[in-house]
């Protein structure tokens, strides 16, 4: 196989994160094109597999954030169609896509995560919303983070420091998905750890510290250049940094992630690292943290994406 490939980058889709996916897809395509590959950008629809057949790519790069790309279903279909792709096994993606499942697996592996409760819309209806809310507050305290059980880009996520706001936060999460996860809020340093396997096993790239100007890493803060400052490497102690790296590698391994992942971590005020979320398809937009980590490691984006694509095409994962 030649070193230069035909690569189909899939982006767009019909998830809530379509726009972000389009941005990631474009950036990945640009980098791979710069490296010399032939890149075709595809927005998946009913003709996707026919178009893939016509293109006959050496490898597919699914850059589909949100349910259509990250829940593992499309990855399974690509495998069934005999197409190698950049990304984890579909079973791993499925595990990581569900925040409660991922947390459970991580916890069982002995990694610290914020205490949490997974609650369904059905549970609120059957057991009485007031009762469930009371239990949540009693169990987790008044400072909590409410998230839809699936999805990214902080969509449907609310940080609560006033219990009065909890009902609305639940409604906002359930507007995205019928299952929500409520975590105890842990204050500290927000860190993004990018894990990549370029052939010698997974390595953690320099930790990226995230400092949103408005205090919360919201959708707006994530995708408006300048509204978040980043520090690379993160300004935490050596032991905290080591702890965060351990958490990242453990999460990557426990969830069976392969090529590239981003593990979100909080380092609390005592320097302890706690797992927050795993992302099998980290954002690779112009405002995302994973590209910053890659560049801070001294790598170039085209070279890293090239390596991932070639390894996937050769199925060296």
Partner 1 sequence: MQSANPHVGEIHLDPWFGHYAERATGLSASEVRALFAVASRPEVVSLAGGMPYVRALPEDLVSNALARVMRESGPAALQYGSGQGVPALREQILDIMALEGISASADDVVVTTGSQQALDLVTKLFIDPGDVILAEAPSYVGAIGVFRSYQAEVVHLETDADGLVPEALADGIARLRAEGRTIKFLYTIPNFHNPAGVTLSAERRPEIVRICAEAGILILEDNPYGLLHFDEPVPSALRSLSPDGVIYLGSFSKTLAPGFRVGWALAPHAIREKLVLVAEAAILCPSSFSQLVISDYLSQADWQAQITQFRGVYRERRDAMLEALSEHLPELTWNVPNGGFYIWVALPHDLDSKAMLPRAVTELVAYTPGTAFFADGGGRHNIRLSFCYPTPESIRVGVRRLANVISGERDLLETFAGTGRLTPSRATDSVTAPPPDLS
Strands across the sheet with 38-42, in order? Answer: 38-42, 6-10, 59-62
Which CB atom, from 106 or from 234, has the smaller least distance to partner 1?
Answer: 234
68 binds partner 1 (CB under 8 A): no
- Among residues 112, 230, 268, 271, which is the contact residue for partner 1, using CB under 8 A? 230
Stretch that binds partner 1, among 24-32, 153-161, 252-260, 274-282 (CB under 8 A): 153-161
For 157, the token pair is: 């996520």
CA–CA gap between residue 189 and residue 269 (Å, rounded) = 8
14 binds partner 1 (CB under 8 A): yes
- Among residues 119, 267, 304, 309, which is the contact residue for partner 1, using CB under 8 A? 304
- Among residues 61, 176, 217, 305, which is the contact residue for partner 1, using CB under 8 A? 176
What does each C-alpha distance from 140 to 6, 57, 67, 72, 137 come to in angstroms? Answer: 50, 49, 28, 31, 5
Please state the closest distance from residue 300 (CB atom) to partner 1, in A: 6
- Among residues 79, 91, 224, 237, which is the contact residue for partner 1, using CB under 8 A? 224
For 3, the token pair is: 């070193």
35 binds partner 1 (CB under 8 A): no
CA–CA gap between residue 286 and residue 125 (Å, rounded) = 42
Which CB atom, from 65 or from 274, has the smaller least distance to partner 1?
Answer: 65
DSSP-derived pairing of the beta strands 179-184 and 116-120: antiparallel
Identified catalytic residue from 277, 288, 289, 311: 277
- Among residues 58, 70, 71, 172, which is the contact residue for partner 1, using CB under 8 A? 172
Phi and psi torsions of 84, nearest 5°:
-70, 150
**# residues contacting partner 1 (CB under 8 A):** 59
CA atoms within 13 A of residue 16's CA, in its CB half-sphere: 12
What does each C-alpha distance from 49 to 65, 73, 85 come to in angstroms? Answer: 19, 14, 14
Binders in 93-152 for partner 1, by CB under 8 A? 121, 124-125, 129-130, 133
219 binds partner 1 (CB under 8 A): yes
Phi and psi torsions of 204, nearest 5°:
-95, 125
215 binds partner 1 (CB under 8 A): no
Sign of CA dihedral 99, 222, 281, 291: negative
The residues that touch partner 1, with contacts defined as CB under 8 A, are 12, 14-20, 22, 45, 121, 124-125, 129-130, 133, 153, 155-156, 163-168, 170-172, 174-176, 198, 206, 219-220, 222-233, 286-287, 292, 295-300, 303-304, 307
Task: Kindly list the catalytic residues.
Answer: 17, 153, 223, 262, 264, 277, 279, 283
């Amino acid at each position: 196989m030649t070193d230069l490939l035909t690569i189909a980058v899939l982006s767009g889709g019909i998830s809530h994160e379509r726009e972000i996916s389009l941005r990631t897809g474009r950036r990945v395509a640009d980098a791979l094109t710069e490296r010399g590959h032939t890149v075709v950008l595809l927005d998946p629809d009913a003709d996707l597999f026919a178009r893939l057949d016509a293109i006959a790519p050496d490898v597919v790069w699914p850059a589909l954030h949100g349910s259509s790309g990250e829940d593992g279903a499309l990855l399974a279909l690509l495998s069934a169609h005999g197409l190698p792709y950049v990304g984890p096994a579909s079973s791993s993606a499925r595990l990581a896509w569900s925040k409660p499942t991922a947390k459970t697996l991580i916890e069982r592996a002995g990694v610290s995560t914020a205490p949490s409760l997974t609650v369904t819309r059905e549970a609120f209806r059957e057991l009485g919303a007031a009762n469930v809310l009371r239990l949540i507050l009693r169990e987790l305290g008044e400072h909590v983070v409410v998230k839809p059980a699936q999805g990214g880009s902080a969509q449907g996520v609310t940080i609560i420091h006033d219990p009065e706001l909890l009902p609305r936060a639940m409604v906002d999460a359930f507007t995205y998905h019928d299952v929500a996860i409520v975590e105890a809020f842990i204050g500290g340093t927000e860190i993004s750890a990018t894990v990549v396997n370029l052939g010698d096993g997974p390595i953690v790239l320099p930790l990226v510290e995230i400092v949103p100007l408005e205090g919360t890493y919201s959708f707006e803060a994530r995708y408006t250049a300048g509204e978040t400052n980043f520090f690379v490497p993160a300004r935490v102690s050596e032991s905290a940094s080591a702890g965060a790296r351990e958490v990242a590698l453990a999460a990557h391994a426990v969830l069976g992630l392969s090529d590239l992942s981003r593990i979100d971590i909080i380092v609390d005020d005592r320097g302890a690292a706690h797992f927050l979320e795993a992302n099998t398809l980290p954002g690779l937009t112009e405002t995302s943290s994973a590209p910053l980590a890659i560049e801070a490691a001294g790598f170039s984006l085209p070279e890293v994406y090239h390596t991932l694509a070639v390894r996937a095409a050769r199925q060296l994962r």
